[in-house]
Every structure is written in structure tokens, then in C-alpha cells.
Amino acid sequence: MQPWVVETIPCVECGATAHLLTGFPPDDPPRPGDIVAYRCEECMDRFDVVLDDVGIDDQPDSVW
């Protein structure tokens, strides 16, 4: 797992923990711009997140 891919995120709906659904084979690591899916353990909502938004924090250039 790449260090900048987080395995859990806070659910935007209920604030519980959403877990990473997508796995990455060693020969096909995730890259910025890839989309990964998370599912909330409480409300079971699914979230597709672009990796740029998740793992690469504190990037002054990533202002939308």
C-alpha cells in the first residue's frame, strides 16, 4: 500500500469510519488521479474518492 493512500476516511454523511474497498496489486500501484472506493461502516454509503483528494495533503497547489 502506498503511504499516501489512507485506508479509512471519515464518512461525510454520518461521521463514522469509511473503509477502503479497493485493493492494489503490487505491480499496479495507485497513482494520483486514480479513483478508490470507500464504504461507511455505519450507513453503508459508498464514496468514490480521487486519490489526489485523500492522500496528498498540504499541497499548496491543490487548491480547487
Rounded Cα distance, 43 and 14, in Å: 7
Exactly one of 7, 13, 48, 53 binds Zn ion (CB under 5 A); that residue is: 13
Bridge partners of 14, per DSSP, are none
Q: Find cell 463514522 and name the residue.
A: 16
Segment contacting Zn ion (CB under 5 A): 5-13, 25-33, 47-55, 56-64? 5-13
Residue 14 binds Zn ion, judged by CB under 5 A: yes
Residue 53 binds Zn ion, judged by CB under 5 A: no
Residue 42 binds Zn ion, judged by CB under 5 A: yes
In this structure, which long-range contacts are made by residues 61-64, counting pairs with CB atoms below 8 Å and at least 24 apart in sequence? none
Element at 9 (helix H, strand E): strand 8-10
Residue 43 binds Zn ion, judged by CB under 5 A: yes
The contact set with Zn ion (CB under 5 A) reads 11, 13-14, 16, 40, 42-43
